[in-house]
Structure 1
Amino acid sequence: MGWVFPGWTGLRALTPFRCSGPCRAGKVPAGVTEDQLWRAKYIYDSAFHPDTGEKMVLVGRMSAQVPMNMTITGCMLTFYRTTPAVLFWQWVNQSFNAVVNYTNRSGDAPITTGQLGTAYVSATTGAVVTALGLKSLTKHLPSIIGRFVPFAAVAAANCINIPLMRQRELKLGIPILDKDGNRLGESRAAARQAIAQVVVSRIGMAAPAMAIPPVIMNALEKRAFLKRYPWMNAPLQVGLVGLCLVFATPLCCALFPQKSSMRVSRLEPEVQAWVREKSPCTETVYFNKGL
């Protein structure tokens, strides 16, 4: 994973540091301060995958969540009345989610194009069918109920999309490490915990942005302003979603640490035996849960 420089204490001293050149050899370049090194680390960590070291696709990074999601979610909440609109925006949303889920997966096992394509089609189809089914169930209910269909569909779709896009982790496991960053093996139990945590945080991330704006917009549409300027509906919706996401995205990403942990006793029996053989003193293992 990298090195930490001698004399660093506290949380910083426990954090693996990844860089190149002199830093990778444990030497601080002349004239570079500790704050500059940590800023470089934060930038590096935001752009490169922690397990594979590959540069992540720009729209798949967490830094793209607010601008991308505010646009897509705002449009889902605005254009929810017709089936073609629901179909299109749910497809756009789940395609975007598929990119995010793949980009922020855990582990370094390669994924073939065929496996990725199958996962994408299955995840997107399942999510779109869920959205259309919920829309048909609520078409005779009050309009305010219909406004919450996109959130219910997104919540259900996250339970489908994330596990399918990361199904290889569920089958083969994800890398587990000791406290010093030494790789001890792969665990499917760790993968299940990681994916469950990501599903919860993603639903929590979407909740404020998809639950608060519908209530506000439902009230505003009864006023003269939106009746006089109906074209303001979409910009207002997108702006409200963006405001919610600015706060919800970092808060929900922080619900569970990215470097998650699990007691050795909760791993699969064969993995427990392997860990105890390789590192008898290890009681807790660590893994990248993804985002």
Structure 2
Amino acid sequence: MVEQRQDFGDEFRLNKPRYDQSTYKGRLRHFMDIVDPRMLLVSDAKLKSSIQLLDDYKEGKLPANVSNSKLWEAQKIKQAIVHPDTGKKIFMPLRMSGYVPFGTITVVGLLLPNPTTAGVIFWQALNQTHNAGVNFANRNASTPVSNTDVAVSYVAATGTAGGVAVLLHNAVTSPWFKKFAKRDRRLAKMIPFIAVAAANQVNVLCMRSSELANGVDVHEENGRVVGQSRSCAQTAVVSTMLTRALLPAPILLLPPLILSSMERTALWRNFPAVRFPLHVGVCMSAFAIALPMTIALFPQTLKVETSYCEPEIQLATREEFLYYSRGM
């Protein structure tokens, strides 16, 4: 029997979220922990001691003077570094805690002024490569995805991002478009967002096409799986696509607006050396703030009335509500 912690922190629950996932505030705090870049600085010794602390808790060997806060910190460290299915360390640039620091490089590149066609293609391809790496490194390894599906998704998303970006870039820089000069500048600043958002939709559809065809597992509150529902899969995929469409909006639309305002300041005009550092700082800040706020919009586990599911699922349970994973 696991001994209860004697402190006033949130009661520790092994492998469970610390905050209430039924509220936006709880999900926001949960994802702020997940993308916390400070986890990149955790030493191997600290990781090892955190894993040992959790193992001791699981086996009921933990001293009573270890606080709940200490256990939550240990679990945060382990989940930030170690894959839950394979038990292996995730490569640092592909960890969720590294998504903002390493992803900022591509965001800065995507928003560089006056890009060439080659530059547009390079930064869009690099962005999709990083996204694909993060998705693969943090995948659900208990439900394998074939290498073919991964390759098709990557090629389709990269092709979509590059194709849309180049098409719009060539359009707004063409002589034909010059009569729309005032719109030209605004549309040019929107190109990275439009291309990334389009690629995200293609990526989700490619990676999760099997779910749309076969359904997602639905389970009772106690975890018992009662079947696979295609109607729930459609809801899960649509909500994920909506999240993926909204995610790049503040990251790729706000910095150009902020930087345009800065261009009119004396600091920007008189000190050219500060322009690039300001560019990087604005992009990183927008990324860091928007990422947890956007992915927290929807719960990861969705609740559905059993009557909404297929007839065979309704016959397999007496529960009024069932649950399923939305995915990322």
Q: Same fold (TM over 0.5)?
A: yes
> Per the alignment, in what secondary structure is the counterpart of residue 78 of structure 1?
coil
Separation of aligned partners in 1, 2:90 and 2:199: 23
Q: Which residue of 2 is the match for residue 131 of structure 1?
A: 165
Separation of aligned partners in 2, 1:13 and 1:224: 52
Q: Which has the higher contact order (CA 8 A, sep 6+)?
A: 1
Preserved contact between residue 22 and residue 29 of structure 1 (Cα < 8 Å): yes
Q: Cα RMSD (Å) of the superposition?
A: 3.3
Q: Which residue of 2 is the match for residue 286 of structure 1?
A: 323
Gaps of 5+ in 1: none
Separation of aligned partners in 1, 2:218 and 2:83: 16
> Per the alignment, in what secondary structure is the counterpart of residue 226 of structure 2?
strand
Shift of 1:17: 4.3
Preserved contact between residue 205 and residue 245 of structure 1 (Cα < 8 Å): no
Separation of aligned partners in 2, 1:108 and 1:188: 20
Q: Which residue of 2 is the match for residue 164 of structure 1?
A: 206
Q: Any idea what the Cα deviations from partners look like across 1:246-278, whole Å, max 9, x if unmatched?
A: 2211211211122333332233444x24xx42x
Gaps of 5+ in 2: 18-50, 178-182
Q: Any idea what the Cα deviations from partners look like across 1:56-87, whole Å, max 9, x if unmatched?
A: 45433332221123221111111553111111
TM-score by length of 2: 0.71
How many residues in Structure 1 have an aligned counterpart in Structure 2? 280
Matched, 1:155 2:172: no
Q: Any idea what the Cα deviations from partners look like across 1:117-154, whole Å, max 9, x if unmatched?
A: 22211221122112222223333343232111111111
Separation of aligned partners in 2, 1:69 and 1:252: 16
Separation of aligned partners in 2, 1:213 and 1:244: 7
- Greater shift after overlay, 216-225 or 242-251? 216-225
Percent of matched pairs sharing the same residue:
31
TM-score by length of 1: 0.79
| Shift in CA distance, 59/263, structure 1 to aligned 2, threshold 3 Å | farther
> Per the alignment, in what secondary structure is the counterpart of residue 176 of structure 1?
strand
Q: Any idea what the Cα deviations from partners look like across 1:192-240, whole Å, max 9, x if unmatched?
A: 3333323323333322221121123234345565455555443322210
Separation of aligned partners in 2, 1:7 and 1:215: 51
Shift of 1:104: 4.5
Matched, 1:40 2:74: yes
Preserved contact between residue 263 and residue 285 of structure 1 (Cα < 8 Å): yes
Separation of aligned partners in 2, 1:45 and 1:181: 21
Matched, 1:173 2:215: yes
